[in-house]
Amino acid sequence: MSTVVEETHHDTHHDHKPSGIGRWLFTTNHKDIGSMYLWLSFTMFLVGGAMAMVIRAELFQPGLQLVEPQFFNQMTTVHGLVMIFGAVMPAFTGLANWMIPMMIGAPDMALPRMNNWSFWILPFAFMILLGSLFMEGGGPAFGWTAYAPLSTTYSSDSTALFVFSVHIMGISSIMSAINVIVTIMNMRAPGMNYMKMPLFVWTWFITAFLLIAVMPVLAGAVTMLLTDKYFGTSFFDAAGGGDPVMYQHIFWFFGHPEVYIMILPSFGIISAIIPAFARKRLFGYSSMVYATAAIALLSFLVWAHHMFTTGMPVFAELFFMYCTMLIAVPTGVKIFNWVATMWRGSMTFETPMLFALAFVILFTIGGFSGLMLAITPADFQYHDTYFVVAHFHYVLVTGAIFSIMAAAYYWLPKWTGHMYDSTLAKTHFWTSLISVNVLFFPMHFAGLAGMPRRIPDYATQFADINQIASIGGFAFGLSQLIFLWVAIKCVKGGEKAAAKPWEGAEGLEWTVPSPAPYHTFEKPPKVE
């Protein structure tokens, strides 16, 4: 790995920051922008979580008790959009902003002013999306996937707001991705070769290429929805010679790489944390890089596994089944490499490690249900049921979200200069771990037993499972308030953190003081 020969201290006494609201509005500092992304993400996580609470409250018992079916559909739709575009993606972008420059020994991101724009258009986008819920006719109610013609001819005008907000979020992501690529390619410190970069940098590098490739396609797809609805085009309208299934092809061409965009940075985080707390080098560094690249490339070839029931010919179904199954190979390699890193290490179980280990086990469970879904004939029974809901919540919540929490605990000392309250943190971990499984594991059974997704009411044989899941949901939601408490408490104070609070941690970020000075690596470090 990399070691620092020359230390740069001379900018710590220049460490003055601007003050007031202007600081945050006009900042081009990667640390400030990273913090803003992280706070936006946490806020959106709670907003999206509140919608999930509405969903689980209505589903607590059979019958309609709390909300009308159409409002329920709005909740499921906006919950999905907010969690994907407001919680997970901005969190990873925040982590990228904070950590990538430090990890490669660069003073900041390559394009600091564009960085500011990338962030500030996001609150605007979410005001539009969340505002649409208050329109006459309600907000978007067609699922985050927005299939036509439900989202065109048979929707309210909130579709237009949905499209605008997605465009803005897309522009933000694309700008961030460009920034990440240029930063990594052009601003690595001398000696920081590609194959010396921490895996978090590698996974974000590859993620950024995925973003550039597919976010524009999403923009195209939702633009076509807009023109079909308002400007007389017939992309997805059979009456005008179009095809509603074509929307699904275009959407999922974006949609599948999108889910890898939401997990590759996780892989990088886990690949930093496990070696640190096992006090042992990451096993198979090069394979990890190649596996990540393989996953990214394969992700372009599997989109129609979301469409097995649309009436595809057998040949196509087989092609997509085989390619989807193939992704299990590089993913498995990564899991095995993490276990091999643990093996004969010297492990301690601080909170980041707890989340990282939970990630490995629970993400793997999500991977297993994914493999089951890949099998086309079986998928006919799983598709659009709670089995799918269970699968993607395992990979996204106990996968992506847990990795984000692991990263937050891992790097909070570096960001704030304080150690977080470890009792509270461990409480957060255990309550989250138990409740998240009570929430999502039963959903596998609901799906297998025949419960479709996106329904506000269900047949009585699904009642017990739903009640258990709802209880888990309420508990999981409450547990996140503990996290909020830990984060705020840590920002405000706590035991002073050393430059490297974790004995086994590696990387340039641990060579600067905690909290990291406002400007770091203004002179590049020498890397062996």
Partner 1 sequence: MKMKPLWALLALTSLPAVAQSRLNMTQGVTEVSNQVYDLHMIIFYICCVIGAIVFGLMFISIIRHRKSKNPKPANFHENVKVEIAWTIVPLLILAGMAVPATTTLIAMEDTADADVTVQITGSQWKWHYKYFENDVEYFSRLATQQEQINNQFEKGENYLLEVDRPLVIPTDRKVRFLVTSDDVIHSWWVPDFAVKKDANPGFINETWTRVDEPGIYRGQCAELCGKDHGFMPVVVIAKEPAEYEKWITEKEEEQRKAREREQELLAMEMSEDELMDLGEKIYNSTCSACHQANGQGVDGTFPALAGSGVAVDPEAKDKHIDTVVNGVTGTAMQAFGSQLSMRELAAVITYERNAWGNDTGDLIQAADINEVMNQ
Partner 2 sequence: MSEQRPDNSILVKRLLLTVAGMFAFGFALVPLYDVFCEVTGFNGRTSNEAAVYQQVEVDESRTVTVQFLTRNAKGIPWKFEPSIKQVKIHPGEVKVVNFLAGNPTSSNMIAQAIPSVAPAEASLYLNKVECFCFNQQPLAAGAETEMPMQFYLDPDIPDHITTFTLSYTLYDMTANTSAEAIAQLLKTE
Alpha helices in 193-243 (DSSP H): 199-230
In angstroms, the CA 488 to CA 208 distance is 30
Site for partner 1 in 195-234 (CB under 8 A): none
Question: Cα 5 to the chain's mean position, in Å?
Answer: 35
Closest CB 187 distance from partner 2, rounded Å: 6
Picked from partner 2, partner 1, none, the partner binding residue 39 (CB below 5 to 8 A depending on kind) is none
Query: Which of these segments, 19-27, 41-49, 454-462, 506-514, binds partner 1 (CB under 8 A)?
Result: 454-462
- Is 393 labeled as catalytic in the residue annotation? no
Alpha helices in 84-139 (DSSP H): 89-104, 112-131
332 forms part of the interface with partner 2 (CB under 8 A): no
Complex with partner 1: residue 330 or 417, whichever CB lies closer: 330
- Is 428 labeled as catalytic in the residue annotation? no
In angstroms, the CA 457 to CA 470 distance is 13
Give the gyration radius of the chain's Cα atoms: 23
Catalytic pick among 188, 229, 256, 519: 256
Site for partner 1 in 68-107 (CB under 8 A): 69-70, 73
121 forms part of the interface with partner 2 (CB under 8 A): no
Closest CB 314 distance from partner 1, rounded Å: 5
- Give the three-class secondary structure for 4: strand
Instruction: Kindly tell me which residue out of 216, 450, 477, 513 binds partner 2, with binding defined by CB under 8 A.
Output: 216
Closest CA to 48 of 403, 396, 487, 444: 396
Alpha-carbon torsion angle 159, 160, 165, 171, nearest 10 = 120
In angstroms, the CA 113 to CA 32 distance is 12
376 forms part of the interface with partner 1 (CB under 8 A): yes
Residue 423: both structure tokens together: 């009792």
Picked from partner 2, partner 1, none, the partner binding residue 109 (CB below 5 to 8 A depending on kind) is none
Site for partner 2 in 134-193 (CB under 8 A): 174, 177-178, 181-182, 185-187
Site for partner 2 in 100-119 (CB under 8 A): 107, 110-111
Complex with partner 2: residue 110 or 390, whichever CB lies closer: 110
Considering CB under 8 A, how many residues would be counted as binding partner 2? 42
Catalytic pick among 8, 93, 98, 108: 108
- Is 256 labeled as catalytic in the residue annotation? yes
- Is 453 labeled as catalytic in the residue annotation? yes
Residue 5 burial by Cβ neighbours in a 10 Å radius (0-12, 13-18, 19+) = exposed
Catalytic pick among 32, 58, 237, 258: 258
253 forms part of the interface with partner 2 (CB under 8 A): yes
How wide is the angle at C-alpha 186 spanned by C-alphas 181 and 191, nearest 5°? Answer: 120
- Give the three-class secondary structure for 494: coil
Query: DSSP per residue over 147-196, as a string?
Result: -TTTTTTTS-THHHHHHHHHHHHHHHHHHHHHHHHHHHHH-PPTT--GGG
318 forms part of the interface with partner 2 (CB under 8 A): no
Residues that bind partner 2 (CB under 8 A): 11, 107, 110-111, 174, 177-178, 181-182, 185-187, 212-221, 224, 232, 235, 238-239, 241, 243, 245-246, 249-250, 253, 311-313, 316, 519, 522-524
Catalytic residues: 79, 108, 144, 172-173, 256, 258, 260, 271, 305-306, 331, 334, 453
